[in-house]
Amino acid sequence: MDIARKLELLADAAKYDVACTSSGVDRSGKKGQLGAATQAGCCHSFTPDGRCVTLMKVLMTNVCTCDCAYCVNRASNLEIERTAFTPRELADLTIGFYRRNFIEGLFLSSGVAGSPDNTTERMISALEILRHEYGFRGYIHAKAIPGTSPELLHQLGLLCDRLSVNMELPSAESLALLAPDKTKRNILAPMRQICDSCAEDAESRSLARRTSGSLAQCRPKTASRAFAPAGQSTQMIIGATPESDHHILNLSAALYRTLSMKRVFFSAYVPVTADPRLPQTDRVQLNREHRLYQADWLMRFYQFDVDEIIDEEDPFLDLEVDPKAAWALRHLDLFPVEVNTASYEVLLRVPGIGVRGAKLILRARRHSTLGEEQLRKLGIAWKRARYFVTCKGAYAVPGVDFSAAWLRAQLTSPIDGGRHGRRSAKEAPGQMSLFDGLDAQQGHMQPAAPASGPKTMAGHKSTPFAALKPPVEALF
Shortest distance, position 423 Cβ to other proteins, whole Å: 6
Q: Which is nearer to other proteins, 8 or 436 (CB)?
A: 8
Burial string for 318-348 (b: 16+ CB within 10 Å, else e) reads bbbbbbbbbbbbbbbeebbbebbebeeebbb
Q: Which is nearer to other proteins, 12 or 181 (CB)?
A: 12
What's the half-sphere exposure (Cβ side, CA atoms, 13 Å) at 372?
11
Q: Which is nearer to other proteins, 98 or 476 (CB)?
A: 98
Shortest distance, position 31 Cβ to other proteins, whole Å: 6
Shortest distance, position 371 Cβ to other proteins, whole Å: 9
**CA quadruple 450, 453, 456, 460: dihedral, nearest 10:** 30
Q: How far is CA 140 from the centre of its chain?
A: 17
* Distance separating alpha carbons of residues 160 and 169, to the nearest angstrom: 25
Q: Which is nearer to other proteins, 221 or 423 (CB)?
A: 423
- Is the N-terminal amide bond of 336 cis, ω within 30° of 0? yes
Amino acid identity for residue 16 in this structure: Y
Shortest distance, position 42 Cβ to other proteins, whole Å: 6
Q: Which is nearer to other proteins, 55 or 306 (CB)?
A: 55
* Distance separating alpha carbons of residues 310 and 244, to the nearest angstrom: 10
Shortest distance, position 49 Cβ to other proteins, whole Å: 4
Longest CA–CA separation in the chain, Å: 72
Q: What is the DSSP string of 1-52?
A: --HHHHHHHHHHHHTT-------S--B---TTS---B-TT----EE-TTS-E
Shortest distance, position 198 Cβ to other proteins, whole Å: 25
* Distance separating alpha carbons of residues 449 and 26, to the nearest angstrom: 44
Q: Which is nearer to other proteins, 57 or 384 (CB)?
A: 57
Amino acid identity for residue 48 in this structure: P
Using CA atoms, how far residue 394 sits from 289, 339, 373, 390, in Å, is 38, 11, 14, 5
Q: Which is nearer to other proteins, 30 or 132 (CB)?
A: 30
Q: Which is nearer to other proteins, 46 or 301 (CB)?
A: 46
Amino acid identity for residue 442 in this structure: Q
* Distance separating alpha carbons of residues 305 and 307, to the nearest angstrom: 5
Contact 280, 438 (CB under 8 A): no
Shortest distance, position 158 Cβ to other proteins, whole Å: 22
Shortest distance, position 15 Cβ to other proteins, whole Å: 5
* Distance separating alpha carbons of residues 237 and 284, to the nearest angstrom: 11
Shortest distance, position 286 Cβ to other proteins, whole Å: 7
Shortest distance, position 431 Cβ to other proteins, whole Å: 14
List contacts with other proteins (CB under 8 A): 3-5, 7-9, 11-12, 15-16, 28-36, 42-53, 56-57, 93, 96-97, 99-102, 137-138, 270, 282, 284, 286, 360, 363-364, 366-368, 370, 374, 377-378, 423-424
Q: Which is nearer to other proteins, 56 or 434 (CB)?
A: 56
Question: What is the CB neighbour count within 10 angstroms for residue 46?
Answer: 11
E runs forming strands in 85-241: 105-109, 139-143, 162-164, 232-238
Contact 364, 305 (CB under 8 A): no
Q: Which is nearer to other proteins, 221 or 367 (CB)?
A: 367
